Amino acid sequence: MREKEVVYVVSDSVGETAELMVKAVASQFNGGEVEIEHVSNVEEIKDIEHVIYVSKGTNSIIAYTLVIPALKEYLDKRAEEEGILAIDLMSSLMEAFSQKFNKLPKRQPRLIRKLDANYFRRVEAVEFAVKYDDGQDVRGIERADIVLIGVSRTSKTPLSMYLAHKRFKVANVPLVPEVRPPDELFKVSKNKCVGLVITPDKLNEIRKQRLKNLGLSVAKYADLDRILEELEYAEKIMKRIGCPIINVSDKAVEETADLLLAMLKKRGVGNRE
C-alpha cells in the first residue's frame, strides 16, 4: 500500500497563502491528490516541535510561511536534524523585495489579515452608500459615520462613494421643499452631518446639462426661481441642524472630501486612513 502523502502547512497566521501555493503546486501532480494538514498561528518553539514530531518518519513535506526570524531558524535547524524536507515559501521573495526596492520587511505576522480587514471594511462601506443613497432608507441616518444633506445635484452621491472607498459609511438625504425631512435627521449628532450648497448659477448650469442629457428641454427642475427656493429651504434646514456647510460650486469631489474630513476630524469623527 502506498504511503500517504502529506504537506504540513505551517504559518504564524492562518496559513491561507501557504495553502494556496501548496494546492497550486499539487495540482501539477496527478490532480493534486495530497493531504494538507494545517499548523496555524505558530508563536512558540513548542508549536514547531509539534510539527516536527508529527512529520518525522512520514512521507511528508513542511511548507511554511514564518516571518519571525527566530522561529524560521529553529524550524530549519530541527528539520535538518530530523531529515525532514522543509520549504520556506516567503524568504526568497522577501529578499528580492529588500534588494530591489531597498526596503526592510517588518517581520510581523498577520499583516495580510489587517489588509484584508481594510478591504472588507471598504466593501461594506460601499454597500452601505448604495443602500442608503438619496434617502432611500432613513435608518441609514443613525447608522452612518457621515450624513450628507443638500438639494439635487450637489454631488451627494459621488461624494458618498468617494468617502466609502476611504471606509466611511455615508448616508445622503436630498432636501426638497415639498418633502418633509425625516425626523431622524434632527436626532442624529450634528457632528457627523454636513450640508452641501452650491451657487444658483452653477446649479442652474448643471441641471440644464442634466436635462439635455436626458433629452428634455423644459422643466421646473432647472428654473432659476425654483433653484433659489430650494437652496433657501436647504440652508434653513442646515442651520436648524447646526451642521457645517460646504460650498461645492467649484470643487472636485476629492477636494470636497478632504475639506469635509478635516472639518469632521475637529468634531470627533475618526480618520479611517
Q: According to the annotation, is 40 in a ligand binding site?
A: no
pLDDT at 117 over 90: no
The reply to whether 107 sits in an annotated binding site is no
In this model, does residue 183 exceed pLDDT 80?
A: yes
Q: Residue 195: which residues within 8 A CB-CB, separation 6 or more? A: 149, 150, 234, 235, 237, 238, 241, 243, 244, 245, 246
pLDDT value of residue 127: 92
Task: Please identify which residue in the block is written with the cell numbers 466593501.
Answer: 123
What CA–CA distance (Å, rounded) separates 19 from 38? 8
Annotated binding-site residue? 121: no
Mean pLDDT confidence for 25-40: 82
CATH of 118-266, one of 3.90.660, 3.40.50, 1.10.287, 3.30.450: 3.40.50
Least confident segment among 6-15, 147-156, 159-168, 231-240: 6-15
Could you read off the pLDDT of 208-227 as tens digits, one per residue? 998 988 888 767 899 999 99
Res. 104 pLDDT band, cuts 50 70 90: confident
Q: Is 58 annotated as a binding residue?
A: no
* Range picked from 95-104, 109-118, 125-134 for highest mean pLDDT: 125-134
3-state DSSP percent of the chain in helix, strand and coil, to 5? 55, 15, 35
The pLDDT, as a whole number, for residue 32 is: 62
139 among the known binding-site residues?
no
Within 10 angstroms of residue 38's Cβ, the number of other Cβ atoms is 14
Does 153 appear as a known binding residue?
Answer: yes
Domains of the chain, by residue range, sit at: 6-109, 118-266
With a cut of 60, say whether residue 273 has pLDDT above it: no
42 is in an annotated binding site: no
- Which DSSP symbol is given to 222? G
Burial class (CB in 10 A: 0-12, 13-18, 19+), 253: middle
Residue 207, pLDDT > 70, answer yes
- The CATH number given to 6-109 is 3.40.50
65 is known to lie in a ligand binding site: no
| Segment 101-127 mean pLDDT | 75
Confidence of residue 28 (pLDDT cuts 50, 70, 90): confident
Does 118-266 match 6-109 at the fold level? yes
d(CA 250, CA 131): 28
